[in-house]
Every structure is written in structure tokens, then in C-alpha cells.
Amino acid sequence: MHGTPSRKMGLVGASSLVVANMVGTGLFLLPSSLASIGSISIYGWIAAALGASALGLVFAHLGMIEPKAGGPYAYARDHLGPFPAFQTNFLYWGANVIGNVAIAVSVTGYLAVFFPVLKNPWFANACTASVIWLFIWLNTRGANVVGHFTVISTIAGIFPIAFVGLFGWFWFRADLFQAGWNPSDLATGVAIERSASIALWAFLGVESAAVSAGVIDNPRRNVPLATIIGLVVSTVIYVACSTVIMGLLPNAELKTSSAPFADAARMMVGPWAAVVISLAAILKAAGSLVGWILIVAQSAQAAADDDMFPRRFALTNRQGMPSQNLVISGIIMTLMLIVTTSPNVATQFSRITDATVVLMALPYIYSVVAMWRLNRMLDMSDARRRAFIGIGLVACVYCIGVVAGQSADLDRKALILMLLATPLFALVRRGQSLASTRPPESGQH
């Protein structure tokens, strides 16, 4: 009926969106990544939560004042200019393509519970590549197919998190937790910096409510509240699950575990629990991979529509899906999989997620700068404007700390990728300009 207002998400729905996007597959292998630092990483979680809260408030404010589809890319485009917008989308897209490889790796990690041959790195890579291309194909079938699949997988994914996070405390051993406190004997500051850097992977998606502000009821109230509620709930889940697993499994075993939740469940109640947990984790990881492949494709498609990416990224098939875009992403993901081949799945997952969080730092910082520029044009008190400057500085310090917490080799590679954005921007923009100004040739149809 005309004139009927569309139904929007309330506070509960918006908060659930933030939690669902943040508590993804990263949780299923993150305890293994943090085990290399030890249970001292609980301090890193606290530092990461503070930094992520600042980022969340930045996106909450942007979404409340100026809701836009496209998130960091849209804010960079409208408030910083074409090149920062291109660089933001290039890095944001690249980070998420790489991050999708980590999700696919986690699927293989839990499949290894059923097929031990997958503990061999090359068999694992073959399986992961098959998973990637299966879900690339699934995405070409249409968004409705993706939607049905992700609903089922998300419901299934709740089980392993709730089971281990809630009931694992009955088997928690304080002596095991203490024995793995700081296995590498790192300085406390270094351990906090390193673990907080790894933990950014867990907080990717903190901008979900802000990016979706257009479909949230009363965004001025519900976007910031949903962001904070989602952050608190997600932080509790992450800290509880990571902490309890570090008190269930010896540190040496946890560091190389390809399925820490399944291994914890096996220790708690027996082999059958590991099977059930692994099946649920596989479904959750598969659903997340399908959804994130779609998000990455849509991000590149939006940039191509704005002449910020090659036009082929915007070409769609009969189902309305950017098929060439999806295939290109699949090729890049497969190459990244080969480049990051490691002795075990846990190490490979850690290497990939480290690369992802470094690339995400600059798009987040650009969003902070966009917020500051936007606030200059708003009628607000000096005290409130200064408060947002302070929040933005905390967010920037955290993003810089994430980069500082990674290895010099990884930071150098990320810098090279950032520098590549400059000639790529010139080539893409020049190509679009020539295409739009070239007169049609004689006899061209």
C-alpha cells in the first residue's frame, strides 16, 4: 500500500547486526593465534576493546549525522577527495579479499577433524581453494541464494560458541592458564601491543550499525547505542571464549590447533562433542565466507560505478551478480592462499589475518579525518567538537599501534601495496576518461 512506512531495525536488531558481523569466524581460530603470545593477551583484549570502541563511536557519529551506503569509501569520497577514496576502497577491498582467505582456511581447519589428511599443508590448500571456488560459484547464482545459506549457517554457528564459552568454565584449569601466561617471555608492553594488533581482526565490523544507519529506526539514538552494546557483547564473548580455551588446552597444543573449539569440546566431554562442534563451525565459517564474498564484490562494483575501479568490476550476469568481479576476487584469493602456505592451518590463518588488519588501518584513519571535516560544518558546541577530536585521536593511535604491533616485513609489504595505489589510481582514472571522451569509430555498433 502506498504511503506505508518501511519497517526498519530497532535497537535490538541493530545491536544484533553488530554482534553478528563482529563475532564471525575469527573466533574459531583466534585462540590459536593468540596462544603464541600467551594468556597475557587478555590485557591486549582490553586495549583492543578501547581502541575499537573509539572506532565504533566514530562510525556511530558518521552514521547518525550523515548515513551513507559504502562506509569508509563513501566518507573518504565525499570529504577527502577522489584519490583518498580510491586508496580507501583499494585497501578496504584488498583487506577483505585477503580476510576471506582466512575464513576459507578456518573451514579447512575444522574439516581436518573429519579428514586428517588435511593436516598436510598442500592437501589443505587444495581443499581451501575448492571451498573458495565453490562459494564464488554460489555467489554467481544470486543474492537470494546467499541469503538463505547464511541464515542457516549463522544459527548453527551459535552452538559451539555458547557451549565452550559457557560450559568450558567447569573444566577450566587455572594452573594451565598460568603456565601459558607468557611462553615467549615478551615484555608486557610488547605482548599487549602484539595481542591488541591481532585482536583488531575480531573487531572488524564495528562500523556495521553506522553503515546500515539508513535502515535503522531513530538512528540518532539507536546507532550509537547499538554500536556500544554490540561492542560490549562481542568483547565479552571473545574474552570469555579465548580465556576459557587457554585454561582447557596446553599452550603448546593450542598454538598449532587447527580446530581449538573442537579440541576443547573433545577434552570436555569426549570425541562426539568435537564432531558436533566442528560441523557447526564449518557451517558458520561457510556462511560467513559466502556473505563476505558478496560484500567484497559489491564494494568493488560500487567503486567501478564511480569510475574508481575498472568497469569490468561492475558488469553483471543474468542473476544481477558481478560475475567477472567475483572471478577476479577468486583468482586473487587463490594466489594469496598459495603465497601464505604454512606448516599448519593455525599459522596460515595468523599470517593472513595479520595482513588484513594492517591494510584496514588506513581506511579507518581516513574515516576519522572525514568525521573531523564533517564536524567543522556542523552546528555543535566546542566541547562536543573537542570530544570527537579526542575520540578520533584514540582511534588513530590504536590503528597506528596495530601497524606497529606487526612485523617489519609485513609492514613493508603493506607500504608497497599502499604506494601501488597511486599509479593504479592514475591508470584507472585515465582509462575511464579516455573511454568517455573517445568519439565512436566509423561503423561501430
Q: Per residue in 183-239, pLDDT tens?
A: 989 899 889 888 888 887 778 777 767 666 666 788 777 877 888 888 888 888 888
Give me the residues paired with residue 9 across strands. Answer: 216
For residue range 291-321, list pLDDT tens digits in order: 778 777 877 887 788 878 888 888 888 877 7
Segment 45-58 mean pLDDT = 88
Please give the Cα distance from 207 to 96 (Å, whole number). 14
- Which residues lie across from 216 on neighbouring strands? 9
Give domain limits for the chain: 11-428
pLDDT at 127: 92
Give the contacts of 247 (CB within 8 A, at least 6 positions apart). 39, 168, 172, 173, 174, 176, 177
Check pLDDT > 60 for residue 439.
no
- Of the two residues 93 and 288, the one the predictor is more confident about is 93
pLDDT class of 4 with cuts at 50, 70, 90 = very low
Mean pLDDT, residues 157-186 taken together: 87
Cell readout for 153 is: 549457517
Domain 11-428 belongs to what topology?
Amino acid/polyamine transporter I (1.20.1740)
Query: Looking at residue 24, what is its pLDDT?
Result: 61
For residue 1, the model assigns a pLDDT of 44
CA angle centred on 418, ends 416 and 420, rounded to 5°: 70
Give the residue from 170, 142, 63 showing the smallest Cα distance to 319: 142
Between the CA of residue 387 and those of 43, 61, 134, 392, what are the distances in Å?
A: 26, 12, 47, 9
In sequence order, what are the residues at sequence separation of 6 or more whose Cβ sits closer than 8 angstroms to the Cβ of residue 162?
none
**Residue bearing cell 555467489:** 139
List all residues 6 or more positions away from 146 whose beta carbon is below 8 Å from its beta carbon: 138, 139, 290, 291, 294
Would you say the pTM of this structure is higher than 0.95?
A: no
Portion of the chain with pLDDT greater than 90, in percent: 19
DSSP code of 258? S
Question: Is the pLDDT at 442 greater than 60, yes or no?
Answer: no
Strand, helix or coil at 270?
coil
Instruction: Look over the chain and give the mean of its residue pLDDT values, rounded to a whole number.
Output: 82
Binning pLDDT at 50, 70 and 90, where does residue 393 land? very high
Phi, psi of 263 (to 5 degrees): -65, -40
Rounded to an integer, what distance in angstroms lies between the CA atom of residue 102 and that of residue 350?
8
What are the φ/ψ torsions at residue 41 (nearest 5 degrees)? -65, -10
The one-letter amino acid code at 110 reads: Y
- Judging by beta carbons within 10 Å of its beta carbon (0-12, 13-18, 19+), is residue 230 exposed, middle or buried? buried
Which residue is listed with cell 595482513? 355
| Residue 93: pLDDT over 70 | yes
